[in-house]
Every structure is written in C-alpha cells, then in structure tokens.
C-alpha cells in the first residue's frame, strides 16, 4: 500500500513542479490536437466525431458551470438554451438566404448564411432566453429555481415539437426538406489542400478544430470572468446571499448576468452543433441532456474549469470509448461486443449510482475548485465539537474574568 501511495505521490509531485506542469500541458495539447488526425488517417471517422461531440459537451458544461458552479443556481433546463441557439441560428440562416435571394443578390445557387456570421445571432437569443426565464424567477430559492428551470426546459421542448411560430418544423426537425445548411468557410479548401493519400481532411475534423478553438476561447473568457468583479460577486452571493447583498452586491443583476452568460455559451454550443451535424430535432434537447450536463459539472467539480472539462470528457466519451475499444481487435479478449454494448446501455444506471456515491464521499467532484470544496463538504462533527468547546472555553474565561472585576 505505502509503495503505491509513494508512487502516486511522486507522480503528482512531479506534475506540480514547473517542468512537470509544462510537460503535462504539452502532452495534453498534443493529444488533443493530434489524436483526431491519427484516427482520421487510420480511417476511424467515428472517433473523430466522438472527439468533436466531447468538445460540444465541454462547451455546454463550461457554460452551465457559470450558473451552477460560480453562482450556485441549479439550472435543470440548461439544454433549452442549447436548443434556442441551434434553432435561432438555423432559422436566421434560412431567413437571410431567402431575403438575399429575394433581393437578387443570389443567383441560381442559393447559399445559406455562414456559421460565423450567425454565431452572434445564436449567442444573443440564448442570452435573451436566459434573461427572460431568469428575470421573473431568480427571486426564488434554490430548489424552486431548479424546478422552474426544469419546467422552462420542458416548455421549450414542447414548443419546438409543436412547431411554434411555424419556424421549428415540429418533430421532423431542421433543415426541412429542400433547405440546406451552408458549409463552413475553409472546409472545402482544407479538404483539397491538406488531404494526402488515405488521409482526408474531413468535415468532422475541420469542425473539431473549430470546436477546440471555441473551447479555448470559452476557457479564456470564463477564467477572466471568474477573476473579475462579477466573478467575486457570484462567489459571495453563492456563499451567503444576505451577506453579499449587505455589502453592496446587487443580487438580481448578478444572478441575471450568470444566467445570461451561461445561456449565451449554451446558445453558441447549440449553433455549433447544428451547423456541424447539419440537422436538429426536438429529440436532441430533452431533460436527460440537461441532467447529463449537470452530471458533468458535478462529477468534475463545480466551479472548477479543469474539473468541468474532465467531467464532460468522462461522461461523453467513456461509453463510446468502451464500445469502440471492444470493437477493436486489441481488446477483443477483455470485453466481448455484447458486454461493451451492455456498458453503453447501462451508462445512465451507472451515472445515477455514481451521482449518489459521489455526493456521499466526494461532493466537491474529481478536480474541485479549492473554495467550493470547503463549502460542499459536510460539516465534520468532530471539528464542530472542537469549535464549540473553544467557544465555550472563551466564554467561560470571559465570565470568570468579569467575576474578578
């Protein structure tokens, strides 16, 4: 046991030194950037898609982490913002296309508006949806907020299924027959110029790099937010709303900012997903997705960016990786294909159990933020007793002093 412990300690010790940290980040960056190229070159397009999907969920989890991790507001309908972003971007794209065609700018070959041009139009409706739902309900206490956001998520999904305003095409999804999503700029160029031999610089690979860039941007923005005045206000509010309010934090606007900024990232993720996959339907935005994103944040560690990313990677990739591994000849002896698909089927069951166990033994998550860890750990009875003892002694001493006086 001690040998193992010492081994682990020396490894973690190495990674906490400066060269160790640099080595770790270099390896991580190389892995992130080159693994999909490797998979593409061996013709495993499926794994490339998994990498891109993980990226989308990392974006979503980072967005939700603002709301749940920083501001401490449990949002169980987060996927609604993902849906709003996806549908807003697509609809505006089609609208612009028709407008331009009507004005005669586009000739015979109708082109949709590009992903980049519409990105703000996905983020802003997401944020607006966040403010719209946040405004009236943010005065509610934590649990009520959770249930109202859950309700809101369901309302959005039902509205989409019922083809609200005639823009969502109901359960059959977008784009409707005859409509087409524009390819993202540079994709065709990359395919022609960066492919060589068997290696094709595919659409999925190109999107993967766009998503990685977005994740890096999100990490940058959210880290800056965390260290800003607003970020400190979020933490203060999360720890004690009354105390925060009494030192001048405007609770309502601070909460609204958290909702709006979190929702904006949801919108961006939705838009990116829609343009990457080229198809969206209400089924992709059900309550389970919201729960999964919450799981990612909780499993990784609320309020911690590396933790959130790790949580998203584990939850999105684990079942797929296990399934893919079982299919590969190298692992055929360990897991049969049936066992592997069973793991895929059981993942929600496992997640459910994991959430319970996690909350009981490590409520702060795998890679917790230091401050959040202290907050989330159950009050230790021994520590409490000790503190009470000290308090009693202090009071007692005070009393005897006053007797003498």
Partner 1 sequence: MSVEFGIIGQQLVNGLTLGGMYALLALGYTLVYGILLMINFAHAEMFMFGAYVGLFTLQGLSRIEFFTSSGPALLLLYVLTFLIAMVVTGILGVIIERFAYRPLRHAPRLAPLISAIGVSLFLQNAALLWISSRSIPFPVLFEVRTFRIAGANISSMQILIIVTTILLMLVLDTFVSRTRLGRAMRATSQDRDAAGLMGVDINRVIALTFFIGPALGGAAGIFSGMYYGNIKYNMGFIPGIKSFTAAVIGGIGNLRGAMLGGFLLGLLESLAAAYISTGYKDVIAFAILIVVLIFKPGGLLGESVAEKV
Q: Does residue 376 touch partner 1 according to CB under 8 A?
A: yes
The answer to whether 400 contacts partner 1 (rule: CB under 8 A) is no
Binding piece for partner 1, criterion CB under 8 A, among 34-42, 91-99, 152-160, 327-335: 152-160
Structure tokens at 277: 């996959």
Report if residue 383 touches partner 1, rule: CB under 8 A: no
**Which stretch of DSSP H or E encloses residue 318?**
helix 305-327
**Residue from 131, 159, 245, 321 binding partner 1 (CB under 8 A):** 159
Q: How far is the C-alpha of 296 from the C-alpha of 293, rounded, in Å?
A: 5
Of 29 and 158, which CB lies nearer to partner 1 in the complex structure?
158
Under the criterion CB under 8 A, does residue 352 sit at the interface with partner 1? yes
CA dist., res. 365 & res. 308, Å (int): 9
Which one, 268 or 297, has the nearer CB to partner 1? 297
Contacts of 272 (CB under 8 A, 6+ apart): 56, 59, 115, 207, 210, 211, 214
Candidate list 9, 16, 17, 162; residue touching partner 1; CB under 8 A = 162
Name the minimum Å distance from CB 253 to partner 1.
18
Q: Please tell me the count of residues contacting partner 1 according to CB under 8 A.
A: 44
Is 152 an interacting residue with respect to partner 1 (CB under 8 A)? yes
Q: Which residue bears the tokens 């971007």?
A: 89
At 72 the three-state DSSP class reads coil
Residue with smaller CB distance to partner 1, 111 or 375? 375
Q: Cβ 40 to partner 1, closest distance in Å?
A: 34
**Residue nearer to partner 1 on the CB measure, 381 or 401:** 381
Nearer to partner 1, 122 or 310 (CB): 310
Is residue 21 at the binding interface for partner 1, with CB under 8 A as the rule?
no
Minimum CB distance to partner 1, residue 155 (Å): 5
Q: Residue 72 CB, nearest distance to partner 1 (Å)?
A: 7
Applying CB under 8 A, does 259 fall inside the site for partner 1? Answer: no
Q: How distant is the alpha carbon of residue 240 from its chain centre? A: 25
Q: Applying CB under 8 A, does 219 fall inside the site for partner 1? A: no
**Joined tokens for residue 327:** 């299919």
Decide: 202 and 40 in contact? Cβ < 8 Å: yes
Q: How far apart are CA 102 and CA 24, in angstroms?
A: 54
| Residue 158 found at the interface with partner 1 (CB under 8 A) | yes
- Tokens standing for residue 91: 């609809």
Please identify, among the stretches 27-35, 156-164, 176-184, 331-339, the one whose residues bind partner 1 according to the rule CB under 8 A. Answer: 156-164
Residue among 62, 348, 23 at smallest CA distance from 219: 62
- Contacting residue, 53, 64, 74, 263, with partner 1 by CB under 8 A: 74
How long is the chain? 405
For residue 197, the 8-state DSSP code is: T
Q: How far is Cα 262 from Cα 302, in angstroms, rounded to an integer?
A: 14
Phi, psi of 136 (to 5 degrees): -75, -25
- Single out the segment in contact with partner 1 by CB under 8 A; choices: 91-99, 264-272, 369-377, 388-396: 369-377
259: number of Cβ within 10 Å: 28
Q: Residue 369 CB, nearest distance to partner 1 (Å)?
A: 14
DSSP state of 280: B
Are 268 and 174 a contacting pair, CB within 8 Å? no
Nearer to partner 1, 212 or 291 (CB): 291
With binding defined as CB under 8 A, does residue 23 bind partner 1? no
Give Cα separations from 310 to 53, 85, 91, 304 (angstroms).
Answer: 14, 24, 33, 10
Give, as ranges, the residues between 286 and 305 that touch partner 1 (CB under 8 A): 287, 291, 294, 298
∠372-266-370 over CA atoms, to 5°? 10
DSSP lists the bridge partners of residue 196 as 199
- Report in angstroms the alpha-carbon separations of 124 from 64, 213, 223, 234, 264: 16, 20, 21, 21, 6
Residue span binding partner 1 (CB under 8 A) among the ranges 157-165, 182-190, 216-224, 313-321: 157-165
Site for partner 1 in 90-149 (CB under 8 A): 136-137, 139-140, 142-144, 146-148
Rounded to whole angstroms, the Cα distance separating 244 from 253 reads 13
Could you say which of 98, 111, 241, 375 contacts partner 1 (CB under 8 A)?
375
Binding site for partner 1 (CB under 8 A): 72, 74, 136-137, 139-140, 142-144, 146-148, 150-152, 154-155, 158-159, 161-162, 287, 291, 294, 298, 345-346, 348-349, 351-356, 358-360, 363, 375-379
């Amino acid at each position: 046991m001690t040998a193992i412990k010492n081994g682990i300690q020396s490894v973690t010790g190495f990674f906490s030194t400066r060269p160790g940290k640099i080595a770790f980040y270099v390896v991580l960056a190389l892995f992130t950037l080159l693994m999909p190229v490797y998979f593409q070159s061996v013709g495993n397009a499926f794994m490339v898609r998994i990498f891109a999907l993980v990226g989308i969920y990392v974006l979503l989890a980072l967005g939700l982490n603002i709301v749940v991790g920083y501001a401490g507001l449990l949002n169980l309908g987060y996927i609604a913002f993902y849906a709003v972003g996806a549908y807003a971007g697509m609809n505006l794209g089609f609208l612009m296309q028709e407008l331009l065609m009507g004005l005669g700018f586009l000739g015979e070959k109708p082109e949709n508006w590009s992903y980049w041009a519409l990105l703000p139009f996905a983020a802003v409706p997401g944020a607006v949806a966040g403010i719209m739902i946040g405004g009236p309900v943010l005065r509610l206490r934590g649990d009520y907020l959770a249930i109202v956001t859950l309700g809101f998520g369901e309302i959005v999904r039902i509205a989409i299924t019922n083809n609200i305003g005639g823009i969502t095409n109901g359960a059959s999804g977008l784009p409707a027959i005859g409509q087409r999503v524009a390819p993202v700029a540079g994709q065709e160029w990359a395919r022609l110029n960066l492919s060589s031999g068997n290696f094709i610089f595919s659409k999925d690979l190109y999107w993967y790099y766009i998503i990685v860039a977005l994740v890096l941007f999100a990490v940058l923005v959210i880290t800056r937010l965390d260290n800003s005045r607003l970020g400190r206000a979020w933490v203060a509010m999360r720890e004690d709303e009354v105390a925060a309010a009494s030192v001048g934090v405007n609770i309502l606007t601070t909460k609204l900012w958290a909702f709006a900024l979190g929702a904006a990232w949801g919108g961006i993720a939705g838009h990116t997903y829609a343009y990457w996959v080229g198809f969206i339907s209400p089924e992709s935005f059900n309550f389970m997705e919201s729960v999964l994103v919450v799981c990612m944040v909780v499993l990784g560690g609320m309020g911690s960016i590396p933790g959130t990313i790790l949580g998203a990677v584990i939850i999105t990739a684990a079942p797929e990786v296990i399934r893919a591994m079982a299919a590969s000849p190298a692992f055929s002896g360990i897991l049969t294909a049936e066992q592997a698909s069973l793991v895929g089927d059981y993942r929600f069951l496992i997640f459910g159990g994991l959430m319970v166990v996690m909350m009981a033994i490590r409520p702060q998550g795998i890679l917790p933020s230091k401050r959040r860890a202290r907050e989330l750990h159950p009050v230790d009875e021994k520590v409490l007793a000790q503190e009470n003892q000290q308090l009693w002694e202090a009071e007692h001493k005070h009393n005897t002093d006053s007797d003498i006086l």
